[in-house]
Amino acid sequence: MTQQGAYYVPHKSIWPIIGSVGLFVTMFGAAHWINGQTDLGRPMFFTGLAVIVFMMFGWFHSVIGESIRGSYNSQVDVSFRMGMMWFIFSEVMFFAAFFGALFYARNFSVPWLGGEGHGLFTHHYLWDHYTATWPTNGPGNIGGKFSVVAPWGLPLLNTLLLLSSSVTITIAHHALRAGRRRQLLVFQALTVLLGASFLYFQAHEYMEAYEHLNLTLHSGVYGSTFFMLTGFHGLHVTLGTIMLIIIWLRCAKGHFNRENHFGFEAVAWYWHFVDVVWLCLFLFVYIM
Amino acid sequence: MAHASTQGHHDAHHEAPSGFFRRWFMSTNHKDIGTLYLIFAGLMFFIGGAMAMVIRAELFEPGMQLVQPYFFNELTTMHALVMIFGAIMPAFVGLANWMIPLMIGAPDMALPRMNNMSFWLLPFAFTILLSSFFLPGGAPAGGWTMYPPLSIQGGDGIAFLIFFVHLSGISSIMGAINIIATILNMRAPGMDLLKMPIFVWTWLITAFLLIAVMPVLAGGVTMLLTDKYFGTSFFNAAGGGDPVLFQHVFWFFGHPEVYIMILPAFGIISEVIPTFSRKPLFGYKAMVYATASIAFLSFIVWAHHMFTTGLPLGAELFFMYATMLIAVPTGVKVFNWVTTMWGGSLTFETPMLFAVAFVILFTIGGFSGIMLALVPADFQYQDTYFVVAHFHYVLVTGAAFGIMAGVYFWLPKWSGHMYSERWGKIHFWLSVISVNVLFFPMHFLGLAGMPRRIPDYNVAFADFNMISSIGGFVFGASQLIMVGNIIYTVFFAKRKASDRVWEGAKGLEWTVPSPAPHHTFSVPPVIDDSLLAHGDVSH
């Protein structure tokens, strides 16, 4: 079907509609679950997730098969690359919303609540005892007194872990391009381990925050921004680690060769993106 | 030459249209998926329109007649969401699916399977949204803008609205990624960027806007979700947050969204006017730069939606001037459309009628936009019917008229038959008169002080409201003519359309047969610059 100089159009596929159904069931279930009006929400949510996982296996299975059989030409490869790049850009904008909330709270809403600015009466009428500080849980002391995670302990360790993982995945990539299979597998495995240790320490930090620091999702705007930013980042690291594991297995099965390894590169881009987000988190959430 | 571009398809593709389920649910065909998008948009247009009819019926006279006030609020909220996310945006994506590959000589979209998923998420997203009518506490009623604290003090509907936004956002982002990859990667050799039709250019820029802002909205509504259900304090001043923060996040999405809903219409109009003027578009490159400028400016004007929230003076001034700056590139566009018509051999088939009406009526909406951009004036207009008049002029006589122009323009190419010109003209004249009867009096109501999103009003506003409602009913009913005309064209019309369809039409899409075969351009076509609308643009 693929011929020289001709365009490639993939054949029909059942997976997009299955993915749509899966996302629908997941979100419909989630909406019912959090409202608690019916008991069906929770099972629906997990059923939907299972359908999505099933779709992922099926869709990737057929795409990997087509790729290995050599169905894709270089134009398809460029389309895939563009798709991944723009997807990562959309992820950047998603995080931008939460970073924006953080900067807004620190530079505007908290100082205004503390009486800064002209013609603002919230401080005067409602909370004249409140002095603006950061971190804060607001004039209402929402969630009670809390302390923050010290940046130079676990967060620094996690920074080093993620930065090293960026190095190891790059070494693995060079090994793949040079055809050094053993080095590729070892350094890809190291990357997975580094990612997994990051997650372990992040979970540890969360437990520490909840159990000893009284820093929770309820701790006013500090707790909200802290947990939503680091939480969504952690979710992305989790997905990224799963992706790394799958790519490692695919390397072991010999799916990639020196020229043709877009799957590897896409995951590497994603991993670097997750890394950069962490550096911003370390700087703006933990240190500053 | 005319059919050369399609000859390759018999041997290159073994998949002709197959069984119903395989063809429509598993499709990788840009034409079928485009058709699905357009049918879905039409359906949503009538669901959202039905809500508008109930709203206008309630407002026909002062006092409470038909519906409960809370249900009225549900209707205004849902009418906006259905029309924006269900009618206007999917209609444009449908047109993009159908036309962009044909216009640039591509066999299909760059990522055809993802294309199918982009579409099929939409019916599911709207199932979630519309199901909220049947929930305890009803559908969301705090306005489509979802401002907290009001939006999270209502019933369970808000969670459904939030997950709806997530699903349709995923759909939009995937669609936009696909469109960018198609335009940048799938152009036939020789189809340079500056030879592309303006419709393709406007969609390239629109797709960028979509990828940049839909995730921001997703983030904003996620904060809303966690504030209501998981105890965060993003929008709670007692916790150090600020309800106004939501408005910033929302309008950082919302203002580019306004241009997402109008730029593709600019593109359609820029195709239709040269065709029926039998002249090349005046100032092609200026059009491209103007579109890009509008897109850039759309990111730095969002707070003009928030002038009365107590922004610092410096911010009010910045956002006022930045907003008024948009009048410059928009003025360039209107000037170019008028200059394209100047001295042309004009004929006024239905698409051209809609295009000319678009230029005039969209400009009225643009002018009221400049009035609203003035901070001191906006303090008066804020939340009145003047705002309602303004955005309906840009969205109905702007975006929706642009879509209608596009549908009449390309329907012969899609179906292979000519629509009924007589009924097209009847549809146009009924629409263009009734739409002004519907929305123009709202300017007066707003200036006189009638607030928006209110089911009852002072008797002083009675006359104009009744006039407006009559216009609304006529406008709503007129749209059935369009549906009738489309059904007639697709299934019953005898008159065959030629390949070129319109005498003055230029571009690759007119070199393929009518109806366009299931697969086109299976091998890259040889581009002949004289066949393109902008083949002679120097660069």
Structural domain boundaries, residue A236? 75-287
What are the pLDDT digits (tens) for A40-96?
999 999 999 999 999 999 999 999 999 988 888 899 999 999 999 999 999 999 999
DSSP state of B196: S
Residue B512 lies in a domain: yes
Tens digits of residue pLDDT in B266-301 = 999 999 999 999 999 999 999 999 999 999 999 999
Residues A195 and A282 placed together within one structural domain of the fold: yes
Query: Is the Cβ pair A228, B211 closer than 8 Å?
Result: no
Q: Are A281 and A232 in contact (CB under 8 A)?
A: no
- Tell me, yes or no, whether A3 lies in a domain: no
Burial-class residue A33 by CB neighbours within 10 Å (0-12, 13-18, 19+).
buried
Q: Six-digit token pair at A103?
A: 């900067």
**Helix B327-341 and helix B313-325: axis angle, to 10°?**
10
Q: Does B10 score more than 90 pLDDT?
A: no
Inside any domain, residue A116: yes
Cα–Cα distance, B216 to B34 (Å, whole number): 27
Question: Chain A residues with CB inside 8 Å of B521's CB?
Answer: 7
B15 pLDDT tier (thresholds 50, 70, 90): low
Give per-residue pLDDT as tens, B150-196: 999 988 899 999 999 999 999 999 999 999 999 999 999 999 999 99
Positions of B annotated as catalytic residues are 79, 108, 144, 171-172, 255, 257, 259, 270, 304-305, 330, 333, 452
The share of chain B scoring above pLDDT 70, in percent, equals: 96
Distance between A184 CA and the closest CA of chain B, angstroms: 30
Q: What does the pLDDT look like over B386-443, one tens digit per residue?
A: 999 999 999 999 999 999 999 999 999 999 999 999 999 999 999 999 999 999 999 9
Chain A residues near residue B173 by CB distance under 8 angstroms = 87, 90
Pair (A238, A252) in one structural domain: yes
- Cβ neighbours of B17 in A, within 8 Å: none
**Residue B8: pLDDT above 70?**
no
Q: What are the DSSP calls for B297-309, one per residue?
A: HGGG-GGGG-GGG
Domain count, chain A: 2
Asked whether residue B342 carries a pLDDT value surpassing 70, the answer given is yes
B474 CB contacts (<8 Å, ≥6 apart)? Answer: B430, B433, B434, B437, B438
pLDDT above 90: percentage of residues in chain B: 91
In a domain, B270, yes or no: yes
CB contact under 8 A, A100 and B13: no
CB within 8 Å: B238 and A78: no
Q: Residues 159 to 218 of A: which have CB under 8 A from any B CB?
A: 217-218
In chain A, what residues touch B172 (CB-CB under 8 Å)?
none
CB contact under 8 A, A93 and B215: yes
Separation of alpha carbons B74 and B208, rounded Å: 32
Which chain B residues touch A119 with a CB distance below 8 Å?
310
List the CATH number of the domain containing B369. 1.20.210.10
Measured between alpha carbons, how far is A64 from A71 in angstroms, rounded to an integer?
10
Averaged pLDDT for residues B23-34: 94
* A124 and A153 co-located in one domain: yes
Are the beta carbons of A228 and A98 closer than 8 angstroms? yes
- Alpha carbon of B167: minimum distance to chain A alpha carbons (Å): 8
Question: What's the pLDDT score for residue B480?
Answer: 98
> What average pLDDT does range B451-462 have in this prediction?
96
Maximal C-alpha separation, chain B: 71
pTM > 0.90: yes
Q: How many other β-carbons are positioned within 10 Å of the β-carbon of residue B341?
A: 19
What pLDDT, on the 0 to 100 scale, is given for residue B319? 97
List the single residue in B162, B216, B233 with the smallest CB-CB distance to A138.
Answer: B233
* pLDDT 10s digits, B121-158: 999 999 999 999 998 889 999 999 999 999 999 888 99
For residue A201, being part of any structural domain is answered with yes
pLDDT at residue B9 greater than cutoff 80: no
Q: Are residues A62 and A123 in the same domain?
A: no
Distance from CA of B246 to the nearest CA of A (A): 9
Low-confidence ranges of chain A (pLDDT < 70): 1-6
pLDDT, residue B6, reads 42
What pLDDT is attached to residue B225? Answer: 97
Q: Tell me: do A135 and A20 sit in the same domain.
A: no
Cβ atoms of residues A126 and B244 within 8 Å: no
Co-location of A116 and A30 in the same domain: no
Task: Give the CA count within 13 Å in the CB-facing half-sphere of A130.
Answer: 28
Q: Which member of A27, A90, A119 has the closest CB to residue B128? A: A27
DSSP state of A11: P
B163, A28: Cβ pair inside 8 Å?
Answer: yes
Q: Token pair of A255, please? A: 């799916």
**What was the ipTM of the complex prediction?**
0.95
Residue B321, C-beta contacts closer than 8 angstroms, at least 6 positions apart: none
Q: What token pair was written down for B536?
A: 């002679």
Q: Tell the residue number behind the tokens 């009738």, with chain if given.
A: B484
Task: Please report whether residue B537 resides in a domain.
Answer: no
A283 and A146 in a single domain? The answer is yes
How far, in Å, CA of B156 to CA of B228, rounded? 10
CA dihedral sign of residues B309, B313, B315, B317? positive
Task: Please report the pLDDT score of residue A1 as a whole number.
Answer: 33
Structural domain count of chain B: 1
Backbone angles phi, psi at B253, to 5 degrees: -75, -50
Other CB atoms within 10 A of residue B510 CB? 20
Nearest CA in chain B to A144: B239
- Let me know whether A152 and A244 are in one domain: yes
The amino acid that residue B362 corresponds to is: F
What residues in B contact A19, CB-CB < 8 Å?
117
- d(CA B51, CA B78) in angstroms, rounded, equals 8
Question: Do A122 and A232 belong together in one domain?
Answer: yes
Do A36 and A179 share a domain, yes or no? no
Q: Which of A17, A27, A84, A18 is nearest to A53 (CA)?
A: A18
> Quick one: tokens of A228?
């939503």
pLDDT digits (tens, 9 = 90+) for A156-165: 999 999 999 9
Contact residues for A56 (Cβ-Cβ < 8 A; gap 6+): none
User: Which amino acid belongs to residue A204?
Assistant: H
B27 lies in a domain?
no
Mean pLDDT within B455-467 = 97
Whether A211 is covered by a domain: the verdict is yes
- Mean pLDDT across the stretch B311-323? 95
Residue B417's SS3 state is strand
Nearest-by-Cβ selection for A5 from B230, B248, B523: B523
For residue B536, tell me if it sits in a domain: no
CATH value at residue A133: 1.20.120.80
Q: Residue B16: what pLDDT?
A: 57
Instruction: Clarify whether residues A31 and A146 are in a common domain.
Output: no
- Nearest-angstrom CA–CA distance, B210 and B413: 28
Cβ(B90)–Cβ(B40) below 8 Å: yes
